[in-house]
Amino acid sequence: MTKAIILAAGFGSRLMPLTANVPKTMVEYKGKKLIEYEIEALQSAGIKEIAIVGGYKFEVLKDFVKNRFGINRFFENANYAHTNMLHSLFCAREFLCECEAQKCDIIISYADIVYFAPCVKLLLDSDAEFAICVDKQWQKLWEARFDDILGDAETLKMRESNGEHYITELGKKPKDLSDIEAQYMGLFKFSHSFLGKIIALYDSLDKNAIFDSQPYNNIYMTSFLQGLIDKYHNAKAVIVSGNWCEIDFRSDLEIDIDVLVNCDCCQKDNTDKKCGSIFDEELGLCSHERGNRTNGSLTKRVANSTIYRKKTNALKKGAVIWICGLAGSGKSTLAKSLTNLLRQKFDNVVYLDGDELREIFGHFSYDKNGRIDMAIKRAQMANFLSKQGQIVIVSTISLFNEVYVWNRANLQNYFEVFVKCDFDELKRRDQKGLYTKALRGEIENVVGVDIDYDTPKPNLVLENSEAKDLDKKTQFLCDEFLEFYTNLQQGSNNDK
């Protein structure tokens, strides 16, 4: 017997505003929610017991799945905003131990993928202790999704033994296409006899270690799977050929899996037996594709006039998030929290603290002119890093028109945030007594007292007079930036 668990704790910030009121897995693709595809595929393949791990909008997900499918096994990752899928899986430790005790194998499924029963049946047919679904026809799907397929794809290398393929590496950054023999889908199976070793490996992880550049709380599932591969060398590849899709961006919702599958059906007798189109040996394309490729990128399928609006990889181009506010407004706290949140998904996020940069650049006076000069230096550093493809988060006072003008003229993908806070609250938070001393005339050069500031006209005003709900404010800030960034890149692509 085999059970299944779906890891559905994610928010899906890159799908905003579609995920404003529902979790990522409840976004609709072609008229059906993602989790409906997953549960229907598992049930159609004969899986009778399915558990769900939720997080963001947990009660919304729970109510829908209960009412729609009658499923009653739920586990919650309450810390979903600060952890990845591995920790979601072990929020259901009780379920894993139950499978081991009852000698039930278990299928683990990501919640942001669309797949169908035949894929699940292939996984069920495998008698391996550890089996992973991989797609050898991944390239067509990635070409439909991205301009730079290497930017988002991950390595997957295999060895052959007695006609079977075993995975030796997955989840790394590829140097070229030769590093990608297939693509990991996010669907795999553990045998009941192997579950004890999996739990033991998880329990043995060093909580102070770094795993593929990630701390323990944010360890990627693929990093953990690689640990199993390195230790046991038993990860059998269950090979599929398309007929699935990952939904991570709004543009993914426009991809037609059926068309991609049809175009994979071309036979060497020059006829596509499923769709009746003619295969062009010289071009390596069927008539669905022939004449509709530009520089190796799928742009249009004549067969059903589906347009693929290709999307540059999110956060692969540099940007600057400039978080400004008066001393004590909470800008640094928000900036650090945002940095941690973005780093859960992206590895090119840099945080620049205003005070720390003062130490690097040397002394600048604290009068208005000195503060402006210092702010421009910070902005120049941010500009340098963003041009290298970094997402740079800056927390600073710098509330002067000269700075705003320079930034907007020079910084690419510039997102300005003003953290607003009542002055009485600023004084209450002021442990050093700067505002009180400045108001008494005991010290000078305090912005907001004897140095006037210019209120910005930012992309986002974040009210922070009440120092609470940091996680919610951080998530809101993150969502607003990602929507801004995505719209900016889509506009840039449309202009080309």
Q: Three-state DSSP class for 288? A: coil
Residues 6+ apart with CB under 8 A from 263: 140, 272, 275, 285, 286, 288, 289, 301
Give 18's DSSP letter. T
| Structure tokens, 256 | 């037609």
Please measure the distance between the N-terminal and C-terminal CA atoms of the chain and give it in whole angstroms: 54
- Helical H runs in 235-353? 257-263, 331-343
Strand partners, 279: 286
Residues 245, 127 contacting (CB under 8 angstroms) = no
Task: Please tell me which residue in 223, 332, 398, 492 is annotated as part of the active site.
Answer: 398
Question: Do residues 489 and 25 touch, judged by C-beta distance below 8 A?
Answer: no
Closest-CA residue to 274 (of 261, 290, 257, 255) = 261
- CA pair distance 332, 334, nearest whole angstrom: 5
Helices 117-125, 34-44: inter-axial angle, 10-degree rounding:
50
Amino acid at 490: Q
Contact 6, 109 (CB under 8 A): yes
Is residue 108 within 8 A of residue 85, CB to CB? The reply is no
Strands 105-110 and 2-8: parallel
Give the three-state DSSP class for 419: strand
Q: Give the relative orientation of helices 58-69 and 34-44 as an angle to the nearest 10 degrees.
A: 40
Q: Would you call 13 a catalytic residue per the annotation?
A: no
Cα distance between residue 51 and residue 45, in whole Å:
16
Main-chain phi, psi angles of 80, to 5 degrees:
-55, -30
Q: Distance between CA 190 and CA 198 in Å, rounded? A: 9
With CA atoms as reference, report the closest residue to 450 among 439, 442, 459, 458: 439
CA dihedral for 462, 463, 465, 467, sign (positive or negative): negative
Provide the annotated active-site residues: 398
